[in-house]
Every structure is written in structure tokens, then in C-alpha cells.
Amino acid sequence: MTRLPSLRILALSALGLVAAIGLTSCGTSDSLSFGSDTRNKMIVSVRDQKMMLVRDGAPLKTYKISTSKFGIGDRPGSNCTPLGRLQVAKKIGANAPIGSVFKSRRQTGEVLKPNAPGRDPIVTRILWLSGTESRNQNAFRRTIYIHGTPEERRLGSPASYGCIRMGSNDVADLYNRIGTGADVFIIRGSIQSENSETESAFAGKSTFRPRS
């Protein structure tokens, strides 16, 4: 007579199968899932505290922004804004009311007006960035976003903790214009200057050369 496997063995086998599937799966709640928006790119100038949206190689719109008040860099815990070529990895907040407050990338149900006193949360929309170079490789783990801020009076000067802040109406407008996979070039100099950094960003290339 054939012995049937015990319930304990069956349960362990099922757990093993689940574990095997988990080990071969790439999907996690925070895994990267890029689209293929190659028409649009954003050029963020730390000097100008402005962002230019470029479509098919031509300037389309310019927005006032804020980068980090702690300067530029990519070290975890530094609260700095990274330089270089990044990409929009995730878009969060579609159809959320303007001024919607987000905590851990989820709407809290609260809605803030611009310049609400004593408040500085993430609002309206989130574009989660991922680095493509060694100098910005920690961006996704550091949760570097382009996002709305209620502190709109501070736009135009460095005020963030590493992210790129925008006004609520501006970030909603940008969100609707671009897709995941769009490039974001964060440059040290001015968008208006004729230099290799700006020209390379317009061309969709990076001037970064890692140290040998």
C-alpha cells in the first residue's frame, strides 16, 4: 500500500515552492518599473533653481523649483540633491486633489493650501527618481522625488531635504505631461549658459566620467 505524505510534509513543500517563487521574482512594492518616455526630459538647474521641460529636443516649459538646502551629493543621510542623469521610476498620486498630503507615498486624506503655516509635508504628486550613474546610484533608496510642496513661497531658493520641490499646480501639470522612464538631468550650472553640461543635457547625454 502506498503511504500518503503527511500534512506536515505537504505544508513544508508548499512553503518551499512559495520561497522558490519569491527568490526568482523581481517584483517588490518598491521595485523599479520603468516606462519608455523618450520624448520628454527635465533639466534641473541648481544655480537657477528652475526646471526646464524639454520635448523632442525643444524647450517646452520652465518651472520654479527648490533643491536641497544642504547642497549637492548622493551620500545616504546627507539630505543632499544628487547631480547627473536620473530617470522617473514611479509616478504616484494620479487624480489626487491638489494639495493632498502624502505620507510614505500614501494619501492621508488631508488637503493643504499653499503656504499653510507650520506645515511642510509632501503634497499633490510624486515622481520617484532612480539614478543611472555612480554619482546618483543611491537616489531611489534615498527616496529622492520631484514632489509638490506647500511651502511655495520658498520656491526659487534651496529649501528641500534632497528632493526637488515644485508648486502644487506645477507638479500636477508636469505629472500629466511626462511618463516613467523620462530622463531628469540635474546640473550644477545655469540652464541658460552655453556650456558642455547644459548642451549635453539638451542632447540627452551625460558629461559625467567616473574616476578610474
CA distance 154 to 152: 5
In sequence order, what are the residues at sequence separation of 6 or more whose Cβ sits closer than 8 angstroms to the Cβ of residue 87?
34, 129, 130, 132, 180, 181, 182, 183, 184
Of residues 12 and 122, more confidence is placed in 122
Task: Please report the pLDDT score of residue 201 as a whole number.
Answer: 79
In sequence order, what are the residues at sequence separation of 6 or more whose Cβ sits closer than 8 angstroms to the Cβ of residue 88?
35, 37, 127, 128, 129, 146, 178, 179, 180, 181, 182, 184
SS3 at position 146? strand
Domains of the chain: 40-202 (2.40.440.10)
pLDDT band at 15 (very low <50, low <70, confident <90, very high): very low
CA distance 204 to 98: 31
Cell of 56: 523632442
Residues involved in catalysis: 147, 163
Which pTM does this prediction carry?
Answer: 0.81
Question: For residue 53, is pLDDT > 90?
Answer: yes
Kindly report which listed range (27-41, 53-67, 109-123) carries the lowest average pLDDT score.
27-41
- Read off the pLDDT of each residue in 164-186 and give the average, rounded to a whole number: 98
Cell of 204: 540627452
pLDDT band at 30 (very low <50, low <70, confident <90, very high): low
